């Protein structure tokens, strides 16, 4: 394709990407460097149904004048990035100097909101992603071995967890694992412990969220692998059978290498998706035990006071996190691409 044609061909999507991806990211980066104006406070008398009190309020005219002068707010540089709500460099340095043991330092680290969220986000990403790959492949191989008549219905039911909206799916499970719910009550009987609750302890909450993550994403891996399985060359498989390969050896040495590019694709998608884990935390009301970077952004922007600077800084850190996570996979893909071209 001539370069000119190619350019015209991708111009619409390039424009859309610039407008809806690049511009917002630039705006978020700019936002993260600024904080709100100094608030001019005055004390006034407030009266209501429960009597009068002297209370502080913002002097709106004075604050509006400050805002007029600098519409973006006060320039804070990287101040927001290093404060306690984010990278907490000062708190970290202090914890490191006063540490008595590595465990105690890690305890201090987990006490800071950003690192607590990062710990869960990374655990979720690195536990759920491989399990999704393995389980997805297993389901695909299983379904592929079914008689043709049963395949359609099985595929439909296997896809259900992905079809259900994440928030609804997690709410349904949240009610099922309630102490009064069908799963929660069964577990209490099985383990003979009337106080067993999947919602109470952080460890069990994490476990529940991981299980939910695998349940929700496995169908995606399954359907991609299943499509790939239809393209595995029959000659190679037959040759392997003649050579006396067992079913496991055929999977290991013929099917898996053939599906490798798909596995890389699923890994990429899953790393990105799982790093942004958010809905299950809301659905499972898990914020006491588990928060993620996306949940932090949501929490900054909720409530009576919206902290745009904080939310922007966490967003930029999340983008950086995704970039770091994807780099190894992308480098690998690039090398493969170059090798094939050469």
Partner 1 sequence: MTMKKLSTLTALTVILGASGAFADCGISAGRVSILSNDFPALQAMAAGAAECASATVAVSANQTTEHRDIQVAALTANPAEYTSAIVANSSIVPLMNEGLIRPLDDLIAQYAPDLPQLNRITIDGQVMAVAFMANAQHLFVRDDVLAQIGASAPSSYEDVLDVLAKIRDAGMMAHPFAMNTAAGWNLGEEFVNMYMGFGGELFEAGSAAPAINNATGLATLEMLAALNEYANPDFLTFDSNATQALWESGELAVAYMWGSRGGAVLDDENSTPVVTGNTSLIAAPTVGGGSLPASTLWWDGFTIAANISDEDAAATFQALMHGLRPEVISANNNAAVWLMDGYTPGAPAAGVAATANAGARPYPMLPYVGLMHTALGNELAQFLQGQESAEQALADVEAAYIAAAREQGFLQ
Q: Which of 311, 298, 220, 215 is nearest to 266 (CA)?
A: 220
CB 95 within 8 A of CB 108: yes
Shortest reach from residue 331's CB to partner 1, in Å: 37
Q: Does 37 bind partner 1 (CB under 8 A)?
A: yes
Rg (CA), the chain: 26
User: Least distance in Å: CB of 95 to partner 1?
Assistant: 12
Out of 307, 314, 315, 318, which residue is the one contacting partner 1 (CB under 8 A)? 307
Q: How many residues in the shown chain lie near partner 1 by CB under 8 A?
A: 56
Helix (H), strand (E) at residue 85: none
Interface with partner 1 includes 50 (CB under 8 A)?
A: yes
292 binds partner 1 (CB under 8 A): no
The yes or no reply on residue 74 touching partner 1 (CB under 8 A) is: yes
Q: Could you give the CA distance from residue 262 to residue 225 in angstroms, rounded to a whole number?
A: 7
Report in angstroms how near the CB of residue 209 gets to partner 1 at its nearest.
13
Per the structure block, which two tokens stand in for 282?
A: 């809301």
Of 22, 288, 320, 331, the one binding partner 1 (CB under 8 A) is: 288
Count other C-beta atoms under 10 Å from residue 85's C-beta. Answer: 17
Parallel, antiparallel, or unpaired: how do β-strands 51-58 and 41-48 relate? antiparallel
User: To the nearest whole angstrom, how small is the minimum distance from the Cβ of residue 157 to partner 1?
Assistant: 30
Closer CB to partner 1, 38 or 336, in the complex: 38
Shortest reach from residue 61's CB to partner 1, in Å: 9
Name the residue nearer to partner 1 (CB basis): 37 or 250.
Answer: 37
Nearer to partner 1, 62 or 164 (CB): 62
Q: Does 41 bind partner 1 (CB under 8 A)?
A: yes
Torsion of CA 328, 330, 335, 341, to 10 degrees: 170
Whole-number Cα distances in Å, 311 to 19, 46, 86, 116, 176: 21, 32, 10, 16, 33
Distance of alpha carbon 205 from alpha carbon 287, whole angstroms: 10
Please report, as ranges, the residues that interact with partner 1 according to CB under 8 A. Answer: 35-39, 41, 43-53, 55-58, 60, 63-64, 74, 76, 80, 83-85, 91, 111, 113, 178-179, 194-195, 197, 199-202, 285, 287-289, 299, 301-307, 309-310
């Amino acid at each position: 394709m001539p370069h000119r044609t190619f350019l015209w061909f991708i111009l619409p999507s390039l424009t859309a990407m610039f407008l809806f991806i690049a511009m917002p990211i630039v705006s978020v980066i700019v936002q993260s460097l600024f904080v709100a104006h100094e608030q001019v406070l005055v004390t006034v008398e407030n009266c209501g149904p429960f009597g009068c009190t002297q209370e502080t309020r913002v002097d709106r005219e004075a604050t509006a004048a400050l805002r007029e002068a600098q519409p973006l707010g006060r320039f804070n540089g990287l101040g927001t990035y290093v404060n306690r709500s984010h990278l907490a460099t000062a708190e970290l340095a202090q914890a490191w100097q006063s540490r008595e043991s590595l465990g105690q330092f890690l305890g201090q680290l987990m006490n800071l909101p950003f690192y607590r969220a990062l710990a869960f986000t990374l655990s979720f990403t690195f536990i759920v992603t491989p399990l999704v790959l393995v389980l997805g492949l297993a389901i695909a191989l299983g379904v592929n071995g079914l008689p043709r008549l049963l395949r359609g219905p099985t595929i439909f039911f296997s896809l259900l967890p992905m079809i259900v909206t994440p928030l609804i799916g997690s709410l349904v499970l949240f009610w099922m694992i309630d102490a009064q719910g069908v799963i929660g009550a069964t577990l209490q009987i099985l383990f003979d412990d009337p106080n067993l609750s999947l919602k109470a302890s952080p460890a069990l909450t994490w476990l529940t969220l991981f299980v939910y993550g695998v349940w929700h994403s496995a169908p995606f891996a399954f359907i991609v692998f299943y499509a790939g399985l239809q393209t595995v060359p029959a000659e190679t498989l037959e040759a392997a059978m003649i050579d006396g390969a067992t079913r496991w050896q055929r999977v290991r040495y013929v099917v898996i290498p053939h599906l490798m590019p798909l596995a890389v694709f699923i890994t990429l998608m899953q790393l990105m998706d799982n790093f942004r884990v958010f809905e299950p935390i809301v659905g499972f009301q898990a914020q006491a035990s588990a928060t993620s970077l996306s949940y932090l952004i949501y929490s900054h922007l909720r409530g009576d006071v919206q902290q745009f600077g904080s939310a922007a800084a966490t967003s930029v850190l999340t983008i950086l996190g995704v970039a770091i996570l994807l780099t190894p996979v992308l480098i690998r893909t690039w090398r493969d691409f170059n090798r094939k071209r050469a």
